[in-house]
Structure 1
């Protein structure tokens, strides 16, 4: 006897053979919109799920997903949502209709690779939403991922693969023969994606702070004092890439660790003054490239009288890239940095 549960399949209204189907969360992830958007479209325009499980639960069929993807393409091309829904519903199920006019960022995909796409179920959907410049969908998918998995897991499994895919897309376009002025193609997609990630990280941190109410760490219990005196986060002088620090700030906030975020290109003198004034439990200095990985800045922080009880952590690939000229080993990942700051070094 086979005791395994029967797979969830759709029973189509037309009486056709059963086919795989998806719940609303999986459907939203596959086409690159937020769950709230799917619910709104069904409520307002009548475009939604038409399958159901043997138990009567509504499910999205492959045909439903095809129609919804067509609606997304239409709205990305400037068609009003109500009209786009009507066109998608009126189109034959096997061929939803002619492709809408292409616009910058719309209709293309990111080269995630099979392993990256399999890492998180929302990866392909997030990539699609970013390429069509749908900021609301990108933000919604990110919010759902951070809420469901936490900042660290969602960053490693979802955000990083999609950001790398965007980088490969840009690099491949810039390197193409005859690219010329088109070498900047997809930069608008990369900027929108990065901005949406930063905003979603802020929302995740705010939600975590509200949910926790106050840090749950007893005074003096933190191995590096981070739970008592907090962590100071800053980019090295000349460093403009702040997104990884935003992720670290949100991840630490989730864990009840107070954070002061100083952002991009903090001059050395300003960093030293901030350490003097706040006496943080830890200082993280981010450098994305070897050009900004200034070991003298780290040494200067460590030499401060107030820094004797402060852990100074250089973070980012720039420190390891600068190893040949005196670089300092850095945490290998966001997960590693969080461990160092919360579980001891």
Structure 2
């Protein structure tokens, strides 16, 4: 039974859960399905969400997905999914190039959306999508999980405590050898390392020393090595903030890296193990001795935080999530546009 009436109505919390649907049935959709099933069985989330439906471009594939994860409904088209009045929140799990049109389809049909990163292929698409969110009153949020994880608060608390002194520099990298995946090298799907993995070190930097701390980028330098298809195979970007803090972001789809995040201060430094899904945080003094190790909370899959945040925002009648508000999504998309512009990289659909 739907809790939404018309384009936007207050959510009825009379013991009813948020029915979550997944648009797409690829690898990341399965990760989300696993998350939703675990949330539904966890006392912390069981009264909040219900794994409800999936849609794929092939009904047989959708039914197999629904059967595997115990979803109530399966649809062979995205239009059929958004026509279901019982769907409250749609997680969009398709390539970047499709996010804008699919999020707009959902919102115009009265569905709230949680859109996998990168939010869209470029900032123009992001602004168009968020314009529709404002017009329809639907919740629209970017599903970049590290923005919602408890590790974000932990890192900011350490840095805010002054334990490593005054922060002066930061470095973050994320590299996976994934160039064998067709969507990663295809310009038509907004492929390349930047939008798929590079978005994480840029967001880590933004959270560790950037907008989370009131800084704005003054200037930057960037370079990339192109894949034979024309998209970036690997890249590096140096950002200089208005107070002189420097940050280096590196990403690649052809090599593996330590996935580390490093924040350097005048009295020590901080090391985050795996910025894509923080496993722990080490704090060192200026003498390079380990001062302490901080564990991150045990999690279901890591995706539960973004789902819970979106579901609670929906219930509260909000149109954005506090952990990743619209202005942050647009700022990161604009930054990645600027980086690609420096490279001379445009996707075919942008011409």
TM range (shorter): under 0.3
TM-score, scaled relative to structure 2? 0.25
More strand by percentage: 2
TM-score, scaled relative to structure 1? 0.25
More helix by percentage: 1
Q: Which has the larger radius of gyration?
A: 1
- Of structures 1 and 2, the one scoring higher in RCO (CA 8 A, sep 6+) is 2
